[in-house]
Amino acid sequence: MLIVNTASKCKFTPQFDDLQKLYDKYKEKGFEILGFPCNQFDAQEPGTSEEAASFCQINYGVKFPIFTKIDVNGKDTHPLFTYLKQEAPFKGFDEANITEKLLKLKIAELYPEWLVGDEIKWNFTKFLIDQNGNVVERFEPSTEPMDFEQNVKQLLA
């Protein structure tokens, strides 16, 4: 299973294309993706939960579940994301990756409190879960879904 916090007006929103490709390719083997819209990052999911799901279906052909909007950081953090962050701590920014370097600067400007610790840093943070419910890996927003297809295949083998 892959759990991802999403937003429809984000630089990373085109990742829905490859998320759907992974889902289509591996759903028959039991692979599931769960999308959780979140408006905590630069107000990039301003509409309702229904509007978020509709956007994903219409613009990216998303067929995996898109749930109700939630918070992934702060006092109202959804318990699922509290658990995910505990099980898969933030490993740091790859300063050699220009996207991550720019993202770090943006977070420092807008949400400096989220630079510290294991908080979700931005939309499209992805958590890979095995068949036993163990969090296997955390992929930061700049990691493209097809970059970890091999990880998905190994879990399904």
Tokens at 115, concatenated: 């630079």
Q: What contacts 72, CB < 8 A, 6 or more positions away?
A: 5, 36, 38, 40, 78, 81, 120, 125
The torsion angles phi and psi of 3, rounded to 5 degrees, stand at: -115, 130
10 tagged catalytic: yes
Edge-to-edge order in the sheet of strand 126-129: 33-37, 2-6, 126-129, 135-139
**Given 2, 4, 7, 10, the catalytic residue:** 10
Among all residues, which ones are annotated catalytic?
Answer: 10
